[in-house]
Structure 1
Amino acid sequence: MRSFLAKLSTVGDGNLTSREEVLVDFIKTNSKDIVEFNIKIDELAKRAKTGFSAIYGLLKKIDIDGYRDFMICLANDVEHSELNFAQNDQCVSNAYINIIKQNHTVIKKNNLVATIELINKAPRVFVCYWEGVLKGPAMDLSNFFFEQGLNVYLLDSDWDSINERVNSSTKDDLFIFITKYGTSTHLSKVIETIGGKKGNSIFISGKVPSKSIKENALVKHTLIVDSVEFQNKKIYISKTLPFHYFNDLLIYHYLNTKK
């Protein structure tokens, strides 16, 4: 499912320009009118008191392909905000379904294929979780690789452990980094060092990668980890859910590719 608000959540705080922040505030406040009256891009720029470049810059930054795609995404947001859920448990169920559908849309199949190819040629695989809350998904993935007979190691973000493994890495060693935010300068430097030693790295994050990570990580997966509110009701969804879903999707394709 395409969602403007969900894709917006992949951009970290401070990554929007002042004009883009004004534009986002206007869209959030007037989303229903924008969709209902099918407001064109020139009218949106005029009403939001910004220019075409700010609109296109924002859409490109959150990986929305043009203004037409933006209107479809926003229409989906408006539709879901108007849904009337009678029971709280139904709200939670629909929030789970919604965030899985969003991730189904944003996870690119060609990136999954590239990930599997890197796994298959790696002499060693290092699965690293950057925040403690993601230990569960990282452990599940490393356990699966172990069951498949791969030479796999589970790591956390400890500076000494990471650098020791990176410094001893050889060609085609694969590092899979799992992070909610991906804003650590240490992580960026680690990924850059891995590339310099002819190793490979995969970046799985709830935020779009920084410029340095874009340039040095071979494969990037950006997940939707923040669920959208329903009728102004706050619904807590575990931040680990999208990572478990990604694992299961990767494992499914891995097993079927082997067949």
Structure 2
Amino acid sequence: MEYYVKSVIPIIESNYDKFTATEKTIADFFIHNQKKMDFSVNHIAELLYTSKATLTRFAQKCGYHGYKEFIYQYEETFVEKQEKITGNTRMVLNAYQELLNKTYSLVDESQVVRIIGYLNKAEKVIVCGRGSSGFSAKEMEIRFMRIGVNVDSMTDSDMMRMSSVFQDKRCLVFGFSISGETEEVIYLLEESYKRGAKTVLFTINNREGFENYCTEVVLLPSLKHLNHGNVISPQFPILVMLDIIYAYYMEQNKYLREEMHDSTLRALEERENREKKLYQM
């Protein structure tokens, strides 16, 4: 299970909604292909009944300079893997491993640095999400509050709509939506952005139009039906990315933030000790 491969598959999946019908045919081929072959532009163009120019445009929409750079990265995904466990254990662990591999491929460290910059400047941080994404929002609130960030989480639809009125250039708003379509989350991001707030969306889909109201779009890895939580928790990709951001943020003023974290632990321990004494009485 110990393997990390820089793969283009999650990049294709994240940009899927941007593709034309022909480009989606190309995307489906590369996503589902399981074997090595001649990936030259001439052979693939003939195989998929498309043109070299279309393959080039497809590669560029995925963020590459051209098809040659794209296919070089794609061929790196063919790595031999030895399975040593079977059954449901293997299924679950492989799902987690696949998501970690895809996170490795998607994470943009320069983007993480920018987000840390927004965190440092923001006077107020809002984190919102519905369902399982709401649990992730609460997790972010608890973790970052303990190291001195003025942060609140929101999971209620009405609260998200009402709070949008109060966001401005002093604020930073995080929205968690696996699909990128959660109405209340998108509304809060749109309205906050209009009022000058920095906005960050965590999603698996890099849709057209996000640039109109998102300062940053953090792409998350995807598995089929991930948002339904059939095999593993839909929170996992969000929490992995939050861990990366948290690690970067802690690294700045490390000793001060560690002291803040330890102080919150001491406060909790003092409460527990008082409760124990009251119970013993």
Q: Could you say whether these structures have the same fold, taking a TM-score greater than 0.5 normalized by the shorter chain as the test?
A: yes
Provide the residue aligned with 1:36 in structure 2: 37
Extract unaligned runs of 5+ from structure 1.
228-234
Residues 244, 29 of structure 1: alpha-carbon distance in 2 compared, 3 angstrom cutoff: closer
Deviations 1:1-45 (A, max 9, x none): 322333232245x5432211322344456552xx333x3112211
Provide the residue aligned with 2:23 in structure 1: 20
Asked if 2 retains the 8 angstrom alpha-carbon contact of 1:85 and 1:91, the reply is: no
What's the offset of the Cα at 1:73? 4.1
State the secondary structure of the residue aligned to 1:221. Answer: strand
Question: What is the root-mean-square deviation in Å for CA atoms of aligned residues?
Answer: 2.8
What's the offset of the Cα at 1:155? 0.9
Provide the residue aligned with 1:2 in structure 2: 6
Residues 185, 138 of structure 1: alpha-carbon distance in 2 compared, 3 angstrom cutoff: closer
What's the offset of the Cα at 1:257? 1.8
In 1, the alpha carbon distance for the partners of 2:233 and 2:69 equals 28
State the secondary structure of the residue aligned to 2:170. Answer: coil
How many percent of aligned residue pairs carry the same amino acid? 18
Q: Write out aligned runs for 1:53-132 (5 A).
A: 53-79=53-79, 83-88=82-87, 89-129=89-129, 131-132=130-131
Q: Is residue 225 of structure 2 the alignment partner of residue 221 of structure 1? A: no
In 1, the alpha carbon distance for the partners of 2:33 and 2:98 equals 22
Q: Under a length normalisation based on structure 1, what TM-score does the superposition of the two structures give?
A: 0.81
Whose Rg is larger?
Answer: 2
State the secondary structure of the residue aligned to 1:49. Answer: coil
Extract unaligned runs of 5+ from structure 2.
225-229, 255-281
What's the offset of the Cα at 1:256? 0.4
Residues 75, 165 of structure 1: alpha-carbon distance in 2 compared, 3 angstrom cutoff: same
State the secondary structure of the residue aligned to 1:126. Answer: strand
What's the offset of the Cα at 1:114? 1.0
The one of 199, 202, 207 equivalent to 2:200 is 202
In 2, the alpha carbon distance for the partners of 1:157 and 1:73 equals 42
State the secondary structure of the residue aligned to 1:9. Answer: helix
In 2, the alpha carbon distance for the partners of 1:136 and 1:165 equals 19
State the secondary structure of the residue aligned to 1:253. Answer: helix
Deviations 1:19-76 (A, max 9, x none): 11322344456552xx333x31122112211123332333233334532343244334
Q: Write out aligned runs for 1:144-183 (5 A).
A: 144-156=143-155, 158=157, 160-183=158-181
Provide the residue aligned with 2:236 in structure 1: 241
Asked if 1 retains the 8 angstrom alpha-carbon contact of 2:189 and 2:213, the reply is: yes
In 2, the alpha carbon distance for the partners of 1:157 and 1:59 equals 40
In 2, the alpha carbon distance for the partners of 1:57 and 1:83 equals 36
What's the offset of the Cα at 1:148? 1.8
Higher RCO (C-alpha under 8 Å, 6+ residues apart)? 1
Provide the residue aligned with 1:253 in structure 2: 248
